[in-house]
Amino acid sequence: MCDAPIKKGVVFHRDRRAAARMVENAMKPKLGISLRSLARDASDIDVRISEVAEYRPDSIELMCFAQDLIRDGKVLTHRAKRIRRSLDDHNIVATMHGPISLNLLDSPDHLDWHLGVGLAYIDLGVVLGITAMVIHTGYCSETDQAVLRSRYAAQRDGLKRLADYAGGHEIMIYVENIFPFFEGAHTALPGQLAEEILEIDHPQLFGCFDVSHAYIACNAYGADLSYEAKQISPVAPHWHVHDSFGRPDTGLKPYTKSECLAYGMGDLHLAVGDGDLPWSSVLNSAPAIPGSTFNIELNPDLWSDMPQCVTATRQLISDAAQLKAA
């Protein structure tokens, strides 16, 4: 508790050791957990938050793309307020995963549509009281370099518009790296995404480093995971943490989700340690910036693996903190 006056921007605490502990805790990596997909009308929100709260995360991530919370660009306020009441009752900080379909590398005639939906999700975030919204970087099937340059210029403009609007509501925008999920798809590797974020240079715009997505993308494009991780980590205060075997699913198409697991193929969202992602190598190459959140994104079908995933992720957090201290 600070009871001294503020002088030249410095707060003087009676208990300096307590103040030092506050700063130290703020600098440590944090644990976040994504909720299981809710009922589309969010009627089971209390159950879903309660099952995550037992792991005592520092924050949760709402998977709002899976709920009917926006219709034709307008927020369904009564449903959003139900979620907000539950968050307040649990006294928990929340981020939000925005629309998966939002694609700022799409053809120019679709961009206004994408931006309108993105702005609506920020309005939703205001009602929910979130601190940040995660969106994906864009993708397309273009190969012409001139067209790609034009598409990226449009994406930078779109991201700036979203960040401007979010900033007016004290919401951060985190742009997440993805992977080519169809044959011939183009998307930015983490290093290129970091360059885009630095070029935009907006105080509300940062990266979300999805480590498994990067693993899959690097194998698809023949890139080096450690290098890509090193490039994006300085601009990524938010990490998505789950495991895989790094195999793109653009060729063989397993018939069921269980067969995807059998083949070890695709974006599996396994518990940390259940794939073969080289976590130690990534952390050594790309130390997390102070205060980063390691947010678990576990496949809802594998929710019984959450206890071991939380344990493994807390170990990653501990390792990351020690690397930073060293």
* DSSP H or E run through 135: strand 132-136
Residues with Cβ < 8 Å from 316, sequence gap 6 or more? Answer: 241, 272, 279, 283, 294
Give the residue ranges of DSSP H helices in 144-238.
145-167, 190-200, 211-221, 225-232
CA distance 71 to 76: 7
How wide is the angle at C-alpha 75 spanned by C-alphas 117 and 269, nearest 5°?
Answer: 60
If one counts every other C-beta atom within 10 angstroms of the C-beta of residue 4, the result is: 10
Model confidence at 19: pLDDT above 70: no
> Which pLDDT belongs to residue 186?
95
Q: Taking the C-alpha atoms of 70, 76, 81 and 87 in order, what is their torsion angle to the nearest 10 degrees?
A: -10
Domains of the chain (ranges plus CATH)? 29-325 (3.20.20.150)
- pLDDT bucket at 17, cuts 50 / 70 / 90: low
Mean pLDDT of 212-217: 98
How far does CA 310 lie from the centroid of its chain?
Answer: 17
List pLDDT tens digits, range 118-149: 999 999 999 999 999 999 999 999 889 999 99
